[in-house]
Structure formats: structure tokens, C-alpha cells
């Protein structure tokens, strides 16, 4: 039998639970009101060690349905955990699941937003720990069915392009939550749970930071680096664009577009030898592309004229 969900008016009895959902609502509404939330998002800054972004990005939601779904299930699951284990335990579990699921999503493809990864983790934790009478009825069969169906729907909407969803965050959150639940048991289950937590979390964080350029799961090598470089190129941040396109061409030396883009930025910076080399590599890789050919020969001719005029 399903356990009743506490009334929202009881928020004072669940301070840790309430703080998280209130912050989520406030941050999301501020974002919808065009506030600058860039410091909260999972960006390339996580690769430089800003792991706190995995936590703050969980507070932002893309639409009303996204916000309502996550806040409701956070309230249902988190109140049960806070009542049974205390606010400190709940907050520690929240931070752990946020970092683990967020890092997994970033390492897989790109950063995500929302409490979904954490919510899936809490659901899995409560299901594994369901023999604890304090958690009886919180996650019943109908709850499992809802989360299973929603997981499949999210995969379909992502693969069809209807609506991208952070599916890896959902999966990683569930695995980590289940591992956390196993750690509360004895013997082999505790050992298994600890192994799951250590392995998945370490792989996710490594893949999102130091190992990001080398441990590729989603997309072709250098693809994300190239897109970040292109964004820097558009905002005239030439130094950053050079760094990212250099990474892209290092990871995938056969990417003609990345070489061509690197040439554009190097030419902007008046680094003509480097620009000529980059254009040459792009032209050699794709000699039929007129943009690559014209850029290369235009720069070569300009340098030859400059050299003659200087003589």
C-alpha cells in the first residue's frame, strides 16, 4: 500500500527538503525572468574543477512540467528520508547524487539541468531500502512503473529530437542511489554497494574533468571542443577559441572544419603562419570545399604580396 505524501503545509518539519525545492523554484523563476544564471550551469568550467556546478545546475528547470514533476517527487522521497535519517544525511545524499549524476551526464554528452538525476537516485535508494519499516510504502509498484515509463519516454523524445533529456543523469542517479541503499545492508551487499558507488562516481567525475578530452562517450572526438570553440569565435573571444579549436584538432586531426575554424581565429590574431598551416590542413583534408580552398589561397597570396612590398 502506498504511503501518503506529507502535506506542503508541513514544510517546517522538513527544513532540508524545503530548502532545496524552494531554491529550485526561485532559481528557475529567476532564469525564466531572464536573470543571468550562467554561474549555476554545467559548462566547460567543470573541466577546470568547478564541480559545484553539478549541484547548482539541479536547481534550474526548463519548463513548468519539468519543474512540477521534479519538485513533487523530491518532496515525496526527500521528506521520508529526512524524517528517518535526518537533514544532514539527506543533504549529503543530495550532494552526492547531484555530483555523480551530473558528472555522468556531462561526460556522456553535455551538461544538463534539473533535479531528475537526484530524484531517480532517491527513488532507487528507497526501493533498495524498502525493507526498512521507516520507508515502507514510499516507493510502491505504481511508483516504479511511473519512473520506468518516464525513463523510456525521455529516451524516445531525445532520440527523435522532440525534446532532449538528460537520460544519462537519470540512469547514473538510479545506479548510485541503489548503490547507496546497498551500503546500508550487511556483508556482500555492503561490499557491492561500495564498489558501485566508488566505480560509477569516480568514472563520471574523471570523465567530466581530467579525462573529458580523452574518455569520449557521446559524439565524435573533438566535436564538443569544436562547438565550444565556435561559440567563443562568435563572441570574439579569440584566445579561448584558439585553445578549444587546438584541442579539437588534437583529438581529431582529420576534422577539416576544426582546422578551417582554427585558421580563421589565428588570422584574426595576425598569426599568419599558424593560420596558413591550419587552412592548408583543412584544404588537404577536403580539397573540394571552396571555403577551405579560397581561404588558404587568399592568405597565401596576401602574404606573398606583403613579402614583395617589403623587399
Q: Which residues participate in catalysis according to the annotation?
A: 116, 170
Half-sphere exposure of 203 (CA within 13 A, CB side): 15
The number of beta carbons lying within 10 Å of the beta carbon of residue 164 is 14
Q: How many residues are listed for the chain in this entry?
A: 311
Q: What is the 3-state secondary structure (H, E, C) of the chain?
A: CCCCCCCHHHHHHCHHHHHHHHHHHHHHHHHHCCCCCHHHCCCHHHHHCCCCHHHHHHHCCCCHHHHHHHHHHHHHHHHHHHHHHCHHHHHHHHHHHHHHHHHHHHHHCCCCCCCHHHHHHHHHHHHHCCCCHHHCCCCCHHHHHHHHHHHHHHHHHHHCCCCCCCHHHHHHHHHHHHHHHHHCCCHHHHHHHHHHHHHHHHHHHHHHCCCCCCCCCCCCCCHHHHHHHHHHHHCCCHHHHHHHHHHHHHHCCCCHHHHHHHHHHHHHCCCHHHHHHHHHHHHHHCCCCHHHHHHHHHHHHHHHHHHHHHC
**Count of CA atoms in the C-beta half-sphere (13 A) of 211:** 15
Which candidate, 120, 183, 111, places its Cα nearest to that of 148? 120
Among residues 179, 27, 11, 5, the alpha carbon closest in space to that of 80 is found at 5
Amino acid at each position: 500500500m502506498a504511503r501518503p505524501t506529507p502535506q506542503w503545509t508541513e514544510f517546517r518539519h522538513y527544513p532540508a527538503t524545503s530548502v532545496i525545492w524552494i531554491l529550485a523554484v526561485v532559481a528557475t523563476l529567476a532564469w525564466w525572468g531572464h536573470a543571468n544564471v550562467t554561474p549555476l550551469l554545467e559548462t566547460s568550467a567543470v573541466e577546470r574543477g568547478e564541480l559545484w556546478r553539478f549541484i547548482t545546475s539541479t536547481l534550474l528547470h526548463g519548463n513548468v512540467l519539468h519543474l512540477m514533476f521534479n519538485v513533487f517527487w523530491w518532496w515525496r522521497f526527500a521528506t521520508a528520508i529526512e524524517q528517518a535519517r535526518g537533514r544532514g544525511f539527506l543533504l549529503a545524499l543530495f550532494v552526492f547524487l547531484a555530483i555523480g549524476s551530473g558528472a555522468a551526464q556531462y561526460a556522456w554528452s553535455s551538461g544538463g539541468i534539473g533535479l531528475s538525476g537526484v530524484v531517480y537516485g532517491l527513488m532507487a535508494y528507497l526501493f533498495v531500502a524498502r525493507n526498512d519499516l521507516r520507508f515502507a510504502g514510499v516507493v510502491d509498484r505504481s511508483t516504479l512503473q511511473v519512473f520506468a515509463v518516464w525513463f523510456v519516454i525521455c529516451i524516445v523524445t531525445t532520440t527523435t529530437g522532440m525534446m532532449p533529456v538528460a537520460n544519462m543523469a537519470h540512469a547514473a542517479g538510479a545506479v548510485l542511489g541503489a548503490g547507496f541503499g546497498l551500503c546500508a545492508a550487511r556483508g556482500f551487499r555492503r561490499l557491492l554497494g561500495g564498489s558501485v558507488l566508488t566505480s560509477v562516481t569516480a568514472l563520471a567525475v574523471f570523465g567530466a574533468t581530467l579525462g573529458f578530452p580523452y574518455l569520449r562517450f557521446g559524439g565524435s572526438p573533438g566535436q564538443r571542443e569544436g562547438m565550444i570553440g565556435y561559440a567563443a569565435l562568435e563572441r570574439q573571444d579569440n584566445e579561448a577559441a584558439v585553445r578549444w579549436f587546438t584541442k579539437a584538432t588534437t583529438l581529431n586531426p582529420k576534422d577539416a572544419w576544426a582546422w578551417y575554424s582554427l585558421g580563421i581565429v589565428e588570422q584574426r590574431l595576425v598569426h599568419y603562419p599558424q593560420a596558413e598551416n591550419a587552412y592548408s590542413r583543412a584544404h588537404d583534408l577536403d580539397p573540394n570545399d571552396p571555403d577551405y580552398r579560397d581561404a588558404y589561397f587568399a592568405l597565401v597570396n596576401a602574404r606573398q604580396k606583403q613579402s614583395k612590398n617589403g623587399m
